[in-house]
Structure 1
Amino acid sequence: MSSALFVVSQEGYWAEECFEPLTTLTAAEADVTVATPDGDPPVVDERSLDPDEVGEQYAQEAREIHETDERLDDPEPLATVDAADYDAVVFPGGHGTVWDVNQDRHARGLLRDAVAGDEGKALVVCHAAGILAFTREADGSFLVDGRSVTGFPNAWEADIVDEHDIMPDGRKLPYWVEDEVVAAGGDWDAELESDTSVTVDGDLITARGPPSSSAAAATLLSELGIETPI
């Protein structure tokens, strides 16, 4: 049985980016563990459950998963988990990741370890791609340097924050993901002309945003050698 560790934000994860991989891996009978920075349950970004944005049916289904999934309700602290114990480490996105997951040294260690050897895989979605800008190899080089990646693009961020980088909820966005990943040497292409964007570079899989979540989940299954559930 395959296993996966989900590293989920306590500052606001995006429902679809978490639940598409979560339900896909669960349907494929993978053993899924959830971890958060301090072990408290993750917090969902309410915008990702807005019926006006995602549809009434999906909003209801997603809220039910958030409120009833035992794995989300009782996560492990990041400091207590080891990437070597899992076949894949998944980093769902959401603006919240810029404040906690992307800045967490244990999360960065999990990412580094997941892609270091021949066994593990990492899936990094949307704003969680910001972690690539802060994760270094053992020799001090950036993990993302020279890698082909995608993630939440500046073109989309500009439509969300105001001229002072203030988000709709009043928080100031501390950095833009694309800028930081490119500065760390990432070969960035968000494929803005495509409906979805998922990039595979070795053991690292990255996905652009919510509409790419389903394709990202299917890609992860393929990379793990798991047959897609019917």
Structure 2
Amino acid sequence: MTDYLPIVYDTNAKTLSLSEDVKLSDYKDLNLEITQLNTLIKDLINSNYDVPPPPTKESYTKNLSMMIKKMHASAVASMRAKKFSEAAKQFTVALGLSTARFKFESFQGTITEVMINLAGRADANMMMGQWLDAYLDCDLMCTLAANVPENHLRKGICNVKLGNLQEAKSDYERGLCFGADHPRLLGELANVNKLIAEENGEL
């Protein structure tokens, strides 16, 4: 007996969806894959190509890159003016532009734009004391670019502010794996070790 996935195709909208007779809670992973596939289908249809062109620098949407750079520059200017709330919003807009790219474009260029603006928004939120929001961005940065020590540094600082000292220690230690002589990481690790010792009554 063959088991069929509960998927329905809408020929008019050209989208996939779960059958109405199944519970979404039973097919969360499948529904996520359907959503991702619909995004790719939409981009493929809008591209007017039977087969997507190979991702190259030449096929990269340069106009969008210019818009992202301008928004990033505005956000940096807001940071310098200590308008951190405005900067966070501008970094968010730049992130939205980055992730709105044609999904078949070069991922290498997209990830660079995403990382730069994630770091900026994290810094803005840290300056405002929005530690949970900053942590979420830092956690994503560590996932996307684990080999960058500063990502772990930011995440560790957020964890300290959130009261997660052991997690912060792990963050700093991971960062040092990619930069053993990083002075800020070494300093923050020493500080968090002291805080942990005080918490445990060892000092």
TM-score range (shorter-chain normalised) is under 0.3
By percentage of residues, which structure has more helix? 2
By percentage of residues, which structure has more strand? 1
Give the structure-2-normalised TM-score.
0.27
Higher relative contact order (CA 8 A, sep 6+): 1
Give the structure-1-normalised TM-score.
0.25
- Please tell me whether Structure 1 or Structure 2 has the larger radius of gyration of its CA atoms: 2
